[in-house]
Structure 1
Amino acid sequence: MILPIQRDEFGIAITAADQPDLGAIPEWYQTGTGQFWLAELDGQAVGTVALKDIGGAAAALRKMFVKPEARGSVGAAQALLDAALAHARMNGVATVWLGTTDRFTAAHRFYEKNGFDPVAVEDLPDAFPRMAVDTRFYRLAL
């Protein structure tokens, strides 16, 4: 579900091999305060989001992808983000960081509407798991 959005919809040259976390979700995301969520619509996967525990009461929001048919009024993106942030708050996370690409302009508006503030790359914590395609970064204080 994630690769077609990245490659076909947005033209990002990325492969599954570039994202080893997707083959090791329990080990990568479901440790410490981390978790991985999947949204379904009519029995089909339509969205994902993950939190990666990066220590120091911080987490990285990652793998936020929603298929076009589940965007907008369907509300899958908001439901996924709400679940991730509720989980973070319940588990003592004080700051959520995220990285995205310049191409995801609708995502930028979505994150900003949800209280995320843009930050410079040099402001990221050392433990932030930056992907090569990340060019824009955000922070949310909980």
Structure 2
Amino acid sequence: MKPLIIPIQNEYSEAAIDLILNIQQKEFNVPITIQDQPDLLNIKDFYHAGGGGFWGAFVNDELVGTIALIKFNEKEAAIRKMFVKKEYRGKEFSIAQKLLDTLIQYAKENEIDDIYLGTISKLEAALRFYERNHFVAIEQELLPEKFPLMKPDHVFRHLPLK
């Protein structure tokens, strides 16, 4: 069962919202709502239009994972919306890895030199995943000025591509 990873647009907003809010609210008890994430209501304008991207991982036509890249200046971008449905996590499917590899490949092809991300300390498996993929810790004060900060984020990582 090989996942299909493709760029997605607004026609998948509802499926992405269902997947992401479920994980944020029910699985990790993060106090966040769709009102805090209006980007999910307009994937096309928020991600694709600015030179970033939004990808979905599908298994049997079901959206089981997402990852997004928001370009916030000429050579820098931030990872957003990295979520994989619980049943599809781990090495058996490698969905998170395939999503991240797709995003990094896109960044390199589009001359993005640095990728940043913000998350929360509670997401320990995610932090280990990013470390395995050569992301290094960075203090919030050292983030680029235009980094798009999300309210709950308090742990930050950086991946230089050059």
CA shift at 1:98, angstroms?
A: 0.3
What SS does the corresponding residue of 1:12 show, helix, strand or coil? coil
Pairing 1:65–2:79 present:
no
Under a length normalisation based on structure 2, what TM-score does the superposition of the two structures give?
Answer: 0.86
Q: Residue in 2 aligned with 1:14? A: 32
What SS does the corresponding residue of 2:56 show, helix, strand or coil? strand
Question: 1:122, 1:31 → 2: CA distance?
Answer: 28
Q: Residue in 2 aligned with 1:26? A: 44
Q: Residue in 2 aligned with 1:85? A: 104
CA offsets, 1:39-97, max 9 Å, x none? 01111110000000110300001000000111102111000000000000000000000
Under a length normalisation based on structure 1, what TM-score does the superposition of the two structures give?
Answer: 0.98
- Which structure 1 residue ranges, 4+ long, deviate > 2 Å from structure 2? none
Q: Paired residues, what number?
A: 142
Q: Residue in 2 aligned with 1:133? A: 152
* Counterpart pick for 1:110 among 118, 129, 133: 129
Gaps of 5+ in 1: none
Question: 2:128, 2:154 → 1: CA distance?
Answer: 15
Kept in 2, the 8 Å contact 1:31–1:53? The answer is: no
When structure 1 is superposed on structure 2, of 79-88 and 69-78 the one drifting more is: 69-78
Question: 2:50, 2:31 → 1: CA distance?
Answer: 31
Identity of aligned residues (%): 45
Gaps of 5+ in 2: 1-18
RMSD value, Cα: 0.7
